[in-house]
Amino acid sequence: MQAYLARIDEYEASYNAFTSMNPNALAEAREIDRRRRNGEVLGPLAGIPVVIKESMDYVGLPTTAGWAPLSSQAAGGIDLFPIKNSVVVARLINAGAIILGKTNIPAFSDDGTRANSSWAGPTYNAVDRGLVPGASSSGSATAVAANFAVLGLAEETGGSIQNPAGAQSLVGIKTTFALVPTTGIVPLAASTRDVVGPIAKTVHDAAVLMDVLAGYSPDDPKTSAAIGKLPPNGYTSQLSKTALCGKRIGLYGQGWRLNALSPETQALYDAAVEELEIEGATVVEDPFIGRGFADLALAGEPYDMRGTESVAYDFQQYLKGVTYQGVVVGSIDGLSAITGVSPFAQNGGPLAWYVDKLPVLASSLSHPDDAPDLSGFWSLRDQYLNTFNSVMEDNDLDVLVFPQTYDTIPALIGDGTYPATAESAINIAALPGVVVPAGQYSDGAPFSLIFIGPRWSEAALLGLAYDYEQATHHRIEAELTP
């Protein structure tokens, strides 16, 4: 713990990964040492430094959602404090992990590329400060890539785990919807799309963290869907250097998404496909062609926000668990009365654009305690899943392996958006994906693959990603600038 804190002290000013630090981290590490000396049985993460995304509730530290009105460190802002830890943070602590601090995000996690809209300012990419860090779990990825922590907790609605992992040459797990509890996390689409997953340097480390995070919690009723879906022997049980041998892999093409790969991305992907074949896999070109999958995407929109219709209802429920000056906030109206502004306000609210795009959300805002009509979204998910499942079955596929991006990583300063291949299809379809480093662009930007499978297939995906990782060792070790 002392070593990590010293490294943070030396380099954090150059990377801005953190929004707040746990003042008790060193004392907690000493307590773990004491318990170990006494021969006590310790948890699987005992003494391991972990960072958590800013939007995750941790008792004693404010939850700001990255939005200036919710931080006393910004002019005119206030602090909200959670009544209890989010479920995933409680699970980390129960496993013995030490929470080092909370990590930077864009305002309300509403950016898959940069954290520049945060009250805390931009977070920088640890591999290259001139590149975007990936978002919205920007700070968690930077903290892990910069060796400020061993593990990071990330959360995704549309790219927010896979993008930071890909941008910083890390392993990230976008989990199946409802596998990991999200209660106690500032939501964008808690009822429909929000998921929590690990960011780590290695597939093994990510798998170990999955064993701590996954499974049913009575505090999050949707996770009842995960009962019976966890691997009996844990998420490390299928890690094998021969896992790819004999597997059938579907490759990226315009049947999946209309965006074509850039020439350099195609060359890097071709090299990665050869590596997969050397490990014994058989590849199938563009299995989705002619199946209508790409046509399900929202035409003319760079980001498919469908499912965010639930955000007013989800945020209203979240606010029942946070306080301002010791009093429960309780509602969006209550928050607006305290701050003088609503995140949904047309005059600059970070969530206003969702209201303009989604009529169900606009209606829900007038009665946010009532669950909105999400039947349109559930029908869309059915279409995605039915098509996905039939393509996998018809082609006898074990997994899809795509380049995580269709072009190189954009510059931090600019308006280029993150070119993800699997956002938002796997978010709408509730599918899991594992990102693993796979090379480097000529400009120095990381290149990664994403392994995508059926719902609840994380253990199998981790096994395949582990085989690829161990055969190639493509992760870029960040060299920091003090």
| Cα–Cα dist 317/476, whole Å | 41
| Cα–Cα dist 292/42, whole Å | 51
Active site residue 53: yes
User: SS3 for 440?
Assistant: strand
The string of DSSP codes covering 252-318 is P-TTT-SPPPPHHHHHHHHHHHHHHHHTT-EEES-TTTTTTSGGGS-TT-SS--TTGGGHHHHHHHH
User: SS3 for 89?
Assistant: helix
The string of DSSP codes covering 327-356 is EE--SHHHHHHHHS--TT-TTT-TTHHHHH
| C-beta of residue 82 within 8 angstroms of C-beta of residue 58 | yes
Of 55, 136, 342, 448, the catalytic one is 136
Active site residue 336: no
Tokens of 15: 């990377």
Of 20, 53, 222, 448, the catalytic one is 53
CA-based torsion, 240, 241, 246, 251: positive or negative: positive
**Strand pairing of 98-103 and 49-53?**
parallel
Burial 10-49 (b: 16+ CB within 10 A, else e): ebbeebbbbbbbbeebeebbeebeeeeeeeeeebebbbbb
Residue 137, preceding peptide bond in cis (omega within 30° of 0): no
Of 118, 138, 160, 448, the catalytic one is 160
* Residues belonging to the active site: 53, 136, 160
